[in-house]
Amino acid sequence: MITKGLTIFLTLKTARFLVTVLVLLHVCGCSAQRINMIEQGDVSAQIIETHPITVKRVSIFRDPKGITVSGDVFRRHISVSPIRGHVDVELIGQDGKVLYEDTLRLRTRRVTISRRVIKGEFSVRWNFDLPVGAIVRVSHHEGKHPKG
């Protein structure tokens, strides 16, 4: 009876190990398909400085589902006031013409232990490829999102 219980325990332990390995392989496989387009030199990001809130980080990734543009917005000084407004994202071709525009809502959250610094986040997924040499211009605006 004890050996049967031990066998079942080892079988469950082996099964858990195999599931863990499979999940890790899947996660690694998915992230390997995700390409940082800025680091690769395919596109560049241009942040338009605004006051008192500005965009601090922009990432542009390509994966099998499309292009993801995301980033963070911070207030230039410490405040307990929430970050409001929206982010405008423009795709600009090598010739300087605006190829696509999008206006994004901000998701805000507190990011420090003192709960005094608030971060805004934005993200959009595009189902088209970006031309090589394109610029993604990003700026924060304090006004309401145009779509309400």
The token pair at 84 is 């409001």
Of 89, 76, 87, the residue nearest 118 (C-alpha): 76
Q: Of all residues in the chain, what percent carry a pLDDT higher than 90?
A: 48
Distant-in-sequence contacts of 67-71, Cβ < 8 A, 24+ apart: 67/37, 67/125, 67/126, 67/127, 67/128, 67/129, 67/130, 68/123, 68/124, 68/125, 68/126, 69/123, 69/124, 69/126, 69/136, 69/138, 70/121, 70/122, 70/123, 70/124, 71/121, 71/122, 71/123, 71/138
* Residue with tokens 């963070």, as numbered in its chain: 72
**Taking 60 as the threshold, does the pLDDT of residue 31 lie above it?**
no
Q: Residue 96 has what pLDDT?
A: 94
Q: Residue 1 has what pLDDT?
A: 53
What are the pLDDT digits (tens) for 48-99? 998 888 899 999 999 999 999 999 998 877 776 778 889 999 999 999 999 9
Distance from C-alpha of 131 to C-alpha of 65, rounded to nearest angstrom: 17
Q: Of all residues in the chain, what percent carry a pLDDT higher than 70?
A: 68
Q: Residue 70 has what pLDDT?
A: 96
For the whole model, what pTM was predicted? Answer: 0.72
Q: Residue 143 has what pLDDT?
A: 76
What are the pLDDT digits (tens) for 6-26? 455 546 556 565 556 455 555
